[in-house]
Structure 1
């Protein structure tokens, strides 16, 4: 029997180009899978599946189960962070930075930096900061600026490495089950963040760009402990993620249904979510397609005011200063952060943040080596995940 996608392709073939169907991977939806015209038609059809909260939640349960089964995450039990090492504390103007590692699965170590406000005696919000693709993005200035500013606002912030990047070099980034491992590491990172002293478990946010945006909306979709989410330059009706870590396992096409990243992002409803988009990538249509589509779903909960879109038509694919400013305002409002602490003359000022060298942020060094029980190499990690 033909898949619903093949039927749809046949119907649309006379009007627009066919989607990028790969016969070698029929269960995957990858890259620019639809044309923009197809994406509009697909979402018009998807919207017919629900018209109120009850019908949406039936659909949402199906999509959520599809993520869990398609990623094989339902076969894992991610324990509390263990073998935790925190070292090399550095204090700056209103915040500190520490280098962190802990075990997520047997032999797998999550690596990152913990940014804390220098304050005591009060409950604090927490923010997870995954990053996008590139050369060790956790170590870059734009990531440090985001984390330091949020810490100065009063949040405990954890920035962690994608697999195969930064200090997490136990395997290549593009192992076949990268989606499964990154979801496990993100869940472990959330467990670690929630274990920190004085954390308010009702004020937990998450924000990342590009591939980190995918991690953000995927974890928010399956874990209600994420109370506020800000996926940056990633939620798209026609683009399913260009890397195996985003779309290399069948989370979008299941025997029971097909879905898109727009519907997956909408699983955050009615929790606050900010979509940050720009004119230079696959989020260029967000104000006219993705945002209104998701806002309709929020309306089923009477929560339209919890969803926002900041669109920057003249910008490109990054987590630059204007995108960070939008995220700061939204996170401050919904996580009750003290944004005035980072303002000078009424404007957010990042200039006093320390920009550290990669060596200062390095997790594994001569004094803190990779633990002896850590798995090494793609074959060993893949065997664990199979």
Structure 2
């Protein structure tokens, strides 16, 4: 009798949760209790590699069609990299860089490289979350410089609408598509470099950067290792248009959430970093066990990890960064021995540069004249409205 009652409750509750009118799943779309039950519903829809991969194809299709990535014009565009102000630091090189995402739109950022010029290095994409000038912060410089000294070419780039990415507003209707497209172009630029090993490509970011990480990883197998930080949640879908402003989680044929999108990384190495003060507080009990079951289908349980920091909050702080260093060191074949260590990694070799020294475009070096300006100009060029 109890089993029958449980089935009825779950079926009814699942139908109630699934019965939302809008195709957009925004913010805390479900309660924690609802999400816990929905994850059980999701788990009942697959039982082996074949049935999971059938579901994975539906989820991947939903992401691509939901953000209209399949409608992006087939534009032939060189990267036309603009690289300047190269500085040799203590064990790494930092440069200012812009590449063309498509003709007239520039992805702006910084390139952190190992001092060693010979051979091929791992590459790491480093998107960030919501903050006006986040690329210039000390914690992004610490992370990128440390990874570069460990032997990786790291591209830290601006979130759409922030820092130097001011050709459009952050909350433009196609922000989710645009950020994913920019990340794809950063990936392809890194792969085009003669100093990059295409089999050792990682991606990591926190919060909105975490969303960018698991979305691109889900749809592009060229990302070999992923570490979304403080963002993978069963009930929270991202509160910004750049995360949930286009229907990538739901269609007439399916419903999913960010846990399953992150699980599309399997069987590639995946690190989830969670904390006790945001929507990732349940990760050890809800999100991580689900993803572990997916990895078990591939006998790859050893390739997925969760570092949970219950006493910490929503950031990419020291303990989160050092967990990443160990994970990337192992799975990207880096050299953590290059980093000073005494009861913890020492990041004090990193020189924190002021924002003006990290900018690509200045009065002396302005953005190229062919730059498109404004949401309307970019959307008109692409012929995509986001509707």
1:123 counterpart residue number: 120
Count of residue pairs brought into register by the alignment: 375
Shift of 1:228: 0.2
1:109 alignment partner, SS class? strand
1:230 alignment partner, SS class? strand
Is the contact made by 2:77 and 2:102 (CA closer than 8 Å) also made in structure 1?
A: no
In structure 2, C-alpha distance between the alignment counterparts of 1:346 and 1:31, rounded to whole Å: 39
Alignment of 1:119-268 (within 5 A): 119-268=116-265
Asked if 1:31 is matched to 2:32, the reply is no
Of residues 63, 68, 81, the one that matches 1:84 is 81
Q: Where in structure 1 do 4 or more consecutive aligned residues deviate above 3 Å?
A: 18-23, 77-81
2:359 counterpart residue number: 362
Of residues 59, 62, 86, the one that matches 2:58 is 62
Of residues 291, 299, 309, the one that matches 2:306 is 309
CA deviation digits over 1:273-308, x for unaligned, max 9?
A: 000000010000000010000000000000000000
CA deviation digits over 1:302-354, x for unaligned, max 9?
A: 00000000000000000001100001100000000000110333631100101
Shift of 1:369: 1.1
In structure 1, C-alpha distance between the alignment counterparts of 2:143 and 2:127, rounded to whole Å: 11
1:254 alignment partner, SS class? coil
2:13 counterpart residue number: 12
For structure 2, the residue ranges without an aligned partner over 5 or more in a row are 1-8
Shift of 1:54: 0.7
CA deviation digits over 1:19-74, x for unaligned, max 9?
A: 69875xx1100000000010011110011111111110111011101100000011
In structure 2, C-alpha distance between the alignment counterparts of 1:83 and 1:198, rounded to whole Å: 17
2:3 counterpart residue number: none
Shift of 1:97: 0.7
In structure 2, C-alpha distance between the alignment counterparts of 1:9 and 1:252, rounded to whole Å: 21
Shift of 1:79: 5.1
Shift of 1:125: 0.4
Is the contact made by 1:87 and 1:100 (CA closer than 8 Å) also made in structure 2?
A: yes
2:288 alignment partner, SS class? helix
TM-score w.r.t. the length of structure 2 is 0.93
Change (3 A) 1:187 1:13: closer
Change (3 A) 1:339 1:244: same
Is the contact made by 1:271 and 1:306 (CA closer than 8 Å) also made in structure 2?
A: yes
Shift of 1:107: 1.8
1:217 alignment partner, SS class? helix
TM-score w.r.t. the length of structure 1 is 0.93
